[in-house]
Structure 1
Amino acid sequence: MLDWGSLVQASQTISKELEIAGLLETFVKIILQQTDARVAMVLLEHQKQWVIEATGRADQDRIDVLQARSIEDHLPVSMAFVERVIRTKEKVVYLTGEAALTSQYQNKPPQPPFFIIYPLLAGQELSGMLYLERWPALPSELFESLQILSAQAALSLKNARAYQRIKDSMVESKRIEENLKNSEARYRRLIELSFDSIVIHIDRKIVHINPAGAKLFGVCCPEDLVGRSVFDFIHPDDLDAVKTRIQRTETEGVSTSLIEQKLIRVDGVVITVEIAAVPIIHEGQPAILTIFRDITSRKRDEAALVASESKFRTLTETTASAVFIFQGNRNRYVNPHAQVITGYTEAELLAMNFWDIVHPDHRDLVRDRGLARQQGQPVQNRYEIKILTKDGSPRWIEATLGAIEFEGQPAVLGTSFDITDRKKIEAEREQLLQAERSQRLLSDTLGQVILAVASHIRLEEVFNEILTQAQRIIAYDAADVALLNNKALQVVHWQGYEKYDGEEAVSQLTQQVPDFPLMAVLVRTRQPVIIADTHKHPQWIIVKDFEWIRSFIGLPLCLGDRVLGVLHLMGDSPGRFSSKDLKYLQLIGQAAAIAIENARLYEQAQRELAERKQTEQALIETNQQLLALQHAGATLAISLDSQHVLDTISLEMTNLIDVQGCIIYRWDSQANTISVAARYNVAPDRSIMYGEDWLDDYPVIKQVLISRRAEQINIDQSNLIDSDLAYVKALTAKTILVLAMEFQDALFGAAVLIEQKSTRTFDYDEIALAQFLANQAATALENARLFEETKREMAERQQAEAALKESETNLRAIFDNSLQAFILIDPNHIIRAINKAAQYGLRLVTKNNVTVGDNFLNIVLPEDLEDVCQNFDRALRGESTLLEYKIKLREIEYWIECHYDPVLDEQDQIIGVCFSGIDVSERQKAAETIRANETRLRQEMQTLLQNTQALVSRFNSAELLESIVNRAKKLMRASGSVVILLSQDGQQLERITPKRFDLSGHDSQQLLSQGSLIEEALTSQEVQVCDLGYADRQMRLLQSLLQVPDTSTLICTPLVIHNTNLGVLLLWRDEPFTEHELHMTSAFASQAALGLENARLYHRNQQLAIQQERHHLARGLHDSVTQSIYSIGLAAETALKFLGDGSDHKSRQPIEYIRSLSKTGLTEMREHLYRLHPAPLQEKELVSALQDHCDQLANQYELEINFKTNL
C-alpha cells in the first residue's frame, strides 16, 4: 500500500530545489529510499547528446551529480533500450539476465536484478530518464510511486533549467553593466582629463563644464560657471552667428565642426577659439555639447609668419647669393643675384624649366632630385653642379635646397654660391696629391699586414700570423715570439727551427732577462735591437743548440709602457737584416702587441661568458617555475566555482612542491570543526575523507591555525604526540607540511602536503610557494562567497542599464567630436575609427584626407615608419607608449604628445591599437615656468633656513629683536620694519623694536582696539595688508607711530607660537606686496616667533636654575645650622629640668642664657629661610612644613610617626 504522506513530503522536497545539482542529488536519494533500488541513474540531454548526470548506490551515501558521462561507456545496458524510451516515451522493464547488460555486470548473484528505464515527462515533453536496478520482486505500488515522483522531478527539472537560464542571464547582465560602467568611467575620465574645454548647455544655460573649460574661461572651480548663459561669454562680433548655429542645432540636430570665433573670459580678456558642437541627450533632456580649443597663440603665430615672409623677401632681394624657388617644372621666384650669375633676366628665368640652365652633365640629376624633393622623398640637400650662363660659358655653383610650401603647394627653395674659382684651385691641388699616392702604396701594404695581424682573436692564431706577416716584409731563416712573465722570456711560438733541429730546444727555452744583458737592455729601454754579426757582438751570449744564429733582430712588443714580449728574427749568415727592415718591422710590432692583448681579453671574456651562461641557465629554470606558478594563480583567479578552485589547488600543490598527495580542510571557526574540502591522490581512509571532525583532535592543524605559521612533521621525530603520529600514519606519509589558508587576516582552513616516499625537510622556497597557493585558495573561497552576494544585487543593476547605455551614447558623441585626435587601428594597420580632430590634423600634416579603411602606415613618413611599427607592436603586446614629437606647421613649432594604447575586447583580449594625439605646446611652456619657479623656491627656502639658524641661535632678546627687524627688512626689500611685543597677558603692547619708535606717547589700547590692523592680525593669526592712501582713523594712529608716508603699503604679520600671540611684525614700502611675498613674510614670522620663544625659554631656564640653587642652599641651612641650634636648645632645656626649680641661680643662669640664644638663633634662621624662599616655607611656617613632611613619610612607608614641637 502506498505511503501517501511520505510521497507528498518527497514531492515537496523535490519541488523546493532550484539548482540542478541539488535537485538531482535529492531526487536520486528519494528514489533509492522509496523504491529500494540498488542503483539509480538520471539521464539528461546535454548539447543534443543523452548523458548520465547523476548516479547513486544504496550502499553509498554519496551521490555523484553533473558528471556528463557517456551512456555508451557507463550505462550497463544496451543503447537500444534508451532509444526505445526516447522514441515511445514509455517505460522499459527488463531482466538483466537476458544479456541486456554489458560484460561488467555478468558476474552477479544467482538471481540477477531487474532494470527499469522510466521516462521523466513534463506533459508530453521528455525532460529526462530514470534508470533503476533492483531485485526481481516488483510490488504493485512501485510504478505508482515512480509515476508521482517522476512527474514532479520532470517539472522541477524544467523549473531548474529556467532558473539556470535566469542566472546565466543575470551574469550576462552584470557583465554588460560592468562594461557600461567601465565605458562611462572611461569617457567621463576622458572629459575630466581632456586638454580640450568641454561644455554642455541646455536652453542656453551651462549645466556641465570640465576643469579645462573652467581654466579657459578664467575661473578655478567649474561649478562657478554652472547656470550662467553661454551668451555671457560670446564676443559681440560673433553673437548673431552663434545664436543662429544654436537654433539650427536644436531644431535640425546639425553638428558644428571646427569654426573659429572669439570669446570673452570672466576677467574680460578676449581669446580666439576653435569650436565643435554636437546635439546630445543629457540626463534625459536635449542638450548641446560644445568643445573649445584656445588658438589665440596660433593666431598670433600666424601673424608673426606674415611678418616673417616680409623679412624673407627683403633678405633675398639684398643677399649676395642666388635665391630661387621652383614648383613643378618651372621657376616661380628668382632674386637679382641669380640674374647676375646666369646672365638671364628675371622674365627669362621664370619662363624656363628649373633644369634648363644646368650643364648637360648634371641636368638629369638636377631634374630627378628636384621632382623627387617636391614629392616628399628623402634627397640630398647640398651638392655642387655646373651651369651654363646665357653666353654659353660654364660656371660651378654650390646649391643648398629644401622643401617648402609656396602658395599652399609643395615647392623647393634653393640658394647658390659661385664656386668657379674654388674649383680651379681644387684642380691644381689634385695634381699635387697625385704625386703623394705612389708613396702611399707602400703604407697600404703595411696596413694590410697590420690588419691581418689584428684580425685574429685567438692567441695561437695571433702568434702564427705575426710570424707569417713578418716573413712577408723581412726574409728570415727562423723566428719566434717570447712572452714576458716575471722577468722571464718564455718562447710560445716559433717557425724555421726545424731546419736546424732546434724545435725541442726552443720549446723548452726560457731566458731570465737579468742573465742576458742584451735582452735586459731591450726590455728596459723598449727599443729594438739589430745585430749584423752575433759572433762579433760583445753582449751576445752563444747558447748551445743556437750557434747557427749569425744575424739577429729583437723587437719588443709594447702596449703603452708595458712590454708584453719580444719578437726574435734570426738569420744563419751575417748581414741579413738592415735598419730599413727594422723600420717596417716596428709597425708590425705595435699591431702585434695590440692583437696579443686583444686575444688575451677575448679568452678572458669567453671564460666570463661561459660562467654567465651557467648563471642565466639557473635563472631560466627559476623563471619557468615562476611562470608555472603564475599560470596556476591565473587559473584560480578566473574561476568562481570554489570546488573547482580547491581541486585545482590540490593538484597544483602536488605538482609544484613535488609531493604525492594533498588535502585541503575547510575550518568552521564558530563550531571549531574542520572538514575535507578537496583532496588529491590520498589513500581512501574514511576517517580522513568524510564528515566533520573536532579541531582539537588534530593538534598540528590547530597549532598552524593559531600561530599562522607552517609546520612540518616527520614520522621518525622523537617528540611526536600520539594524535599527530596517528594522523601521519593514517595518511601513509613519511613527512607532512601543514599551512594556513589566509586571506586579508582571515583564516579559511588549512592545506596538508603529503610526502609518502621518504622523510624530507621542506626548504624556505618550497614553503613560500606552497603558502602562496594556500592563500590563493583562501582568496578563491572568498571570491565565491562574494559572487553569491553579488547575485542579490542584479535586479538593482538592471534598472541602471538603460541609463548607462544612454550615457555611453552621449560619451561616444563626445569622443567623435573631441578636439583631441583619436584613431582606432586593427592589428593589420587598417583604420577602423577616426574622429574629426584626427582627420583635420592629418590633413594639415599629410595634405591628404584620411578616412576609415585606409592603411595607417601609408600616412606615416618614411623616416618615422620603423619607430611607428615598433610602438604599434608594443601596444599589441599590451604595453602603452607615450612619446612627444616636435613638428613644424606653417613655420611654427608645435609639441605633440602621442599615445599608443592597446584596445581590449570584453574578454580583455587585445584587438587593436588606439593612437591619440594632443597639442602640449602650452604644457611644455608651463613646465619650463615650473622649473624656474622651483629654482626660485629653493633659493627662498635656503634664505629662510639661514634666517632660522640665525634667529634660534640668539638668546639675548634685544639682539634677537634687532636681528628680526633687519632680516625682515632685507628679505622683503621693505622701507622699514618694526616688531611690537605683547605683554604677558596679551592685553597691551609692551615693547617695540627699533627703540627709536616710542610707545609711551601713544595709547596702546587704541592700537589694539576692535577693528584695528594689529587686532585683526592677532585675532585671525593671518597677515593683514593696508594701503595707507585709504587709511581710517585707527590706521592714522599706527601711521603716526611708525612715521610711514601715505604712499606706502603696510603689512602686519602676527608672531604666533603654539596658537599664542607674542606680538606683530610690521613692514612697509612704496610698491605693493605680492601674494608670494606675503607667504614668505608669514613663514619668516613663524621662524621669528620660534626664536623669541626659544630666547624666553632660555631666560626662564636660567631663573629656574637660580631658584633651584637657592632652594638647595635653604635645605642645607635647615639640615645643618637649624638642627644644630635646635639640639643646643633642647640640651639646655633638658639640663634645666634636671637642675629643678630649687637649684641655685648661679648654676641655672648660664644654661638659661644658652636656651635664650638658641631660640633667638632659630628665629633668625626662619627669617633667612624665608628670604631664600624654600618652597614649603612660602606657604606655611617651619613646624607646619615639618608636620606635613612627617605625614608624607608615614603614608609613603606605612609608619606611625608622632611629631611634637616645643620651641
Structure 2
Amino acid sequence: MSDLLRIVLVDDNPDDRALTLRALGQVFPDLQVEQITNAEQFTRAVEAGGFDLVITDYQLHWTTGLDILRVVKDRWPNRSVVMFTGTGNEEIAVEAMKADLDDYILKSPKHFARLPAAVRLALERARQRQALVEAETRYQSLFERVPVGLYRTTPQGQIVEANPALVQMLGYPDRRSLLAANAADFYVDSEDRRREQALLEREGLVRDFEVRIRRRDGTVIWVLDNVRAVRDAAGRVVCYEGSLEDITERRRAEEETRQRAAQSEALNAIIAAAAAARDLPRLLETALDRTLRALGLEKGSIWVAGRHIIRGLPPGIGPASMQVIQAAKPHISDAIVVEDWQQVAVGDALSAVEPLMARFGVRASLTVPILAERERIGGLNLVSLIPRSWPPRETALVEAVGRQLGTAAERLRLFQAERGQRELAEALEAAAAAVSSTLEPDEVLDRILEQVERVVAGDAFNVMLVEDGKARVVRWWGYERLGTEERVAGSAIPVTEYPNLLRMVQRGEPVVVPDTAADRDWVLVGGREWLRSYVGAPIRVRGLTVGFLNVDSAQPGRFGPADGRRLQAFADHAAIAIENAQLYRELRGHAERLEERVREQTAAIQAQYAR
C-alpha cells in the first residue's frame, strides 16, 4: 500500500508556499503537493478529488479560506482541511471550526514546525471519520439486508426504527406505516408484553423470548425476541433495541411432532387396552378419552353393540352421529369428514342431517365406522363447535382406532359367547343334577331358578304351573329386591287372557318381549309397571303345557332370541322334574292302593278262618 501523501496547497504567496513545502518535506518524504493560486486551479483540483488533505490560507486574492473550506467539505465531507494563515483572527477561527475545519494554525516562524503535526493529526482524524462512515455504512447495509427484523422502540411502544425485514414480517406496506403503529398492539396476549418488560427492567436483557404477535392482516405468528434496554445517564430506560425472528414454521413443526407423538402414544395405549380388554364399555371409554386428548378435543361419542359413550355433548348426539353414517351411505369403511356443517351443500347426502347437528351446535365432525367381519357394528364420532380441518394424519389415527375397536369387539363377542356357552353348560348340568338328586319339585324348581339367574340377565324369576286354566306362581326369585314379592307369591292369572302365555301354549315355543311398552299383546298388571322386558318358556310334559318359566327385567331391550333359547333348556329340565314328581305321585298312589287291597284281602282271609 502506498504511503504517498497528496496535498492541495491553496496560497497565492509563493514565499509562504515555499516555507510550507519545506516544513512538510522534512517530515513526509513521500509527498505530492498540488499548488493552487487561482480559482480555476482550485475548481479543477476539487473536482478531480485526487488529494488527501487541503492546506489553505485565509486571505486569498480571489476568495477566503472559509469559502475554500466550505467548497471542499461540501464536495468531500471526509477530507481534512487545515487553515494556515497569518491574517485570521479568533472569530474566523471559531467560524472555521464550526464549519468542520480540522485545525487552525497561525503563520509565524515558531508555528511552521507545528504544521506537520497538525497535518498528521488531521489525517488521523480523517481516517477515523472514514472508518466510522464505513462502519455506519456496513451497519446500515446489515440493518437493511439482514433477514431478521431489527427495531428500536420506546417503553411506551412507539417504534423509532425498523428495518425492511421487520416491515415485511409484520405485513406492512412500507416502513412509514409500520412506524405509525404501536408495538404494544402487536402482542396477542398483553400479559406477554408486561412479563417481557418486567424482565427488561430487572435484568436489562431478554434472550430467546418466544411470543405470539399479530400481523397487520390479523394473522398470528410466533417470533423469537432478543432485546436489550437502553438507559440514560440517570439509569432510566429510554428505549428497547432488539431483533425478531419468525419461528412460526419451527413452532408448527414442533407442534406437529408433539401431536404425532401424542397420537402415536394414544394409539399404542388403545392397542394395548384393546388387546387386554375384558370389558367393552371400559375399553370404549378409554379409546374415546385417549383419542379426544390426542387431537386436542373435548367432545365426541362412540357406540358399539348398543353401548353409547358420550363426552361433552347431550345424549341426543348419539342418534345424530348414527344418522351421519346412515345419511352419507359411504363405502363401509370410509371416514366421513365435515369441516363445516354450515357449508354442506343443499342436496348433499349429509344436508338432511345438518339441522340436527346445528341443534347441538356442531360445526365440524369426523366420523368413522367400527367394523367387525366387514359389518358395521358401531362408530366413533369426534366433533368441534367451530369450523375445523381434519388433517390426513388425524383421520388415519381415528380410522386406526376404529379398526382396533372392531377387532376387540369381535374378540370380546367370541369370548363372551364362549364364556356364555360354558356358563350355560355348567348351569344346565347343575339343573340336571338337581332333577336327579331329589323328587321334591319345589326344591328342584328353586335350584333351577338359581341356575337361570346365572345365564339370563334378568331382575326377577318365577315358575308358574297351570291348574284349571290358570297359571299360578309356585316358586319365585328376586322379587323381594323390587318390593313386589307379596303381589307375585301365589298369584294366579287366566292363561286365555294373556296372549303371550296363550302363544306359548299353542306353539310350544319361548316368547321374547324386548319392550313391554311397545308390545301390543302385553297385558299390564297393576303394580308391575316396572316390568319393561320379558322372556318366558313353556314347561311341557308329554306334549302338554303344564307351566311357564319366566324372567322379568326393569330395563327395556334386555332380552333377545338367545335368552329365549337358553330359558327353554331350563324349562325342559323343569318339565322333567315335574314329570318325575307326577310319576312319583302316581307310583306312590298305586303302591298305596295295592297295600290297601292287600290289607283288605288279609282281613277277609282272617275273618274266614275265624269262622
Would the TM-score normalized by the shorter structure come out above 0.5? no
Structure ranking higher on relative contact order (CA contacts 8 Å, 6+ apart): 2
